[in-house]
């Protein structure tokens, strides 16, 4: 029987298509999470009231920030999920090596981030509609929110990048945990411990600095470069660590 020849690109493409199909539950969880986030958002992110005599004034601020935050968390958890044995070992009954498996995972996470980012951004419109119909007597768009198509693109692009960054981080964390169970305890402790320590000392520590590095970047181009470099580093680390990983039941 003659041998079958396959190319890496061909295998990655097949795995990607297969994963989109087999991991549909991931997208179901996205829908559920975003609906919950929208419900939370209806409480408003801020409120200001004043009144006197005949006039009683209440101003509520609403934003889709919670939806974006939830989606980032979703990206993080999804990435961890697909590094678990149940998902990783699925690849090995099919044609695969570790590189193709990782590459198709990255493509899948990119797709998930695109879908998650765009829907999270669009959810602000849904929020506006719900509020203007049900919640308020007068509805005023904040000037910053007046949306041009360009703004929408940049906004969505940034959101997608954030979510993708979080999933890349999740992917690395997931691989570390697969490598050694100890990380499942060590990593959360270091993270939460770091936050507490920062709070106790009252100054911005490493975690805050990392957030500032991305969130405080005012130039979109610079933000893009920072983000992509970080992505590459995170995924390279994950690839390197998982390339010697064995398949165990």
Partner 1 sequence: MSVIECKGLTKAFGGTKALDNFSCKIEGNTITGLIGRNGAGKTTLLKIIAGYLQQTTGEITVFSERPFNDLTVSANVIFVHDQLNLPTALNLKEILDVMASFYQNWDRELAQRLFDYFSLHPMQYYNGLSKGMKSTFNMIVGLAARTPLTLFDEPTTGMDAAVRKDFYRALLKDYIAYPRTIILSSHHLDEIEDLLEDILLMQRGQMLLHMSVTDLKEWAVGLEGRTVAVKEWTKNREVIFSKNGGLDQTYVVVRNDFTAAELQKVKLAGIKTLPVSSSDLCVYLTSKTKGGIDDVFNKG
C-alpha 11/C-alpha 96 separation (Å) is 7
User: Residues in the chain, how many?
Assistant: 249
Residue 94 interacting with partner 1 (CB under 8 A): yes
Place of tokens 């979080």: 166
Residue 5 interacting with partner 1 (CB under 8 A): yes
Residue 89 interacting with partner 1 (CB under 8 A): yes
Part of the chain binding partner 1 (CB under 8 A), chosen from 16-24, 141-149, 152-160, 166-174: 16-24
Q: CB atoms < 10 A from the CB of 96, how many?
A: 19
Nearer to partner 1, 11 or 160 (CB): 11
Residue 77 backbone dihedrals phi, psi, to 5 degrees:
-70, -40
Residue 23 interacting with partner 1 (CB under 8 A): yes
Part of the chain binding partner 1 (CB under 8 A), chosen from 35-43, 123-131, 171-179, 239-247: 239-247
Provide Rg for the chain, Cα atoms.
Answer: 22
Residue 60 backbone dihedrals phi, psi, to 5 degrees:
-110, 135
C-alpha 131/C-alpha 129 separation (Å) is 5
Part of the chain binding partner 1 (CB under 8 A), chosen from 20-28, 30-38, 205-213, 223-231: 20-28
Nearer to partner 1, 69 or 245 (CB): 245
Residue 180 interacting with partner 1 (CB under 8 A): no
Part of the chain binding partner 1 (CB under 8 A), chosen from 135-143, 214-222, 229-237, 240-248: 240-248
- State the burial class of residue 167 (Cβ atoms within 10 Å of its Cβ: 0-12, 13-18, 19+): buried
| Least distance in angstroms from the C-beta of 6 to partner 1 | 5
Provide the pairing of β-strand 55-61 with 46-52: antiparallel
Residue 180 backbone dihedrals phi, psi, to 5 degrees:
-155, 125
Contact with partner 1 (CB under 8 A) among 59, 97, 147, 233: 97
Answer for the pair 199, 191: CB distance below 8 angstroms, yes or no. Answer: no
Contact with partner 1 (CB under 8 A) among 71, 100, 104, 124: 100
How many residues lie near partner 1 (CB under 8 A)? 36
- Name the residues that contact partner 1, by CB under 8 A: 1-8, 11, 14, 17-18, 21-25, 85-86, 89-90, 92-100, 243-244, 246-249
């Amino acid at each position: 029987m003659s041998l079958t020849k396959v190319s890496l690109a061909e295998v990655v493409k097949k795995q990607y298509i297969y994963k989109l199909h087999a991991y549909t539950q991931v997208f179901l969880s996205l829908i559920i999470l975003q609906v919950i986030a929208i419900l939370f958002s209806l409480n408003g992110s801020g409120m200001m009231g004043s009144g006197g005599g005949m006039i009683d004034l209440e101003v509520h601020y609403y934003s889709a920030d919670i939806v974006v935050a939830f989606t980032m968390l979703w990206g993080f958890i999804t990435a961890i999920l697909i590094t678990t044995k149940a998902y990783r070992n699925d690849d090995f009954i099919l044609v695969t090596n570790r590189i193709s498996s990782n590459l198709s995972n990255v493509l899948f996470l990119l797709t998930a981030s695109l879908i998650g980012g765009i829907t999270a951004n669009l959810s602000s419109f849904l929020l506006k509609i719900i509020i203007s119909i049900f919640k308020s007597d007068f509805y005023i768009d904040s000037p910053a929110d007046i949306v041009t198509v360009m703004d929408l693109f940049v906004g969505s692009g940034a959101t997608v990048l954030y979510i993708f960054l979080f999933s890349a981080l999740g992917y690395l964390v997931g691989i570390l945990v697969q490598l050694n169970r100890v990380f499942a305890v060590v990593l959360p402790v270091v993270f939460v411990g770091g936050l507490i320590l920062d709070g106790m000392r009252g100054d911005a520590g490493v975690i805050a600095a990392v957030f500032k590095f991305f969130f405080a970047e005012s130039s979109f181009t610079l933000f893009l470069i920072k983000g992509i470099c970080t992505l590459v580093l995170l995924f390279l680390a994950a690839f390197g660590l998982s390339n010697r990983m064995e398949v165990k039941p």
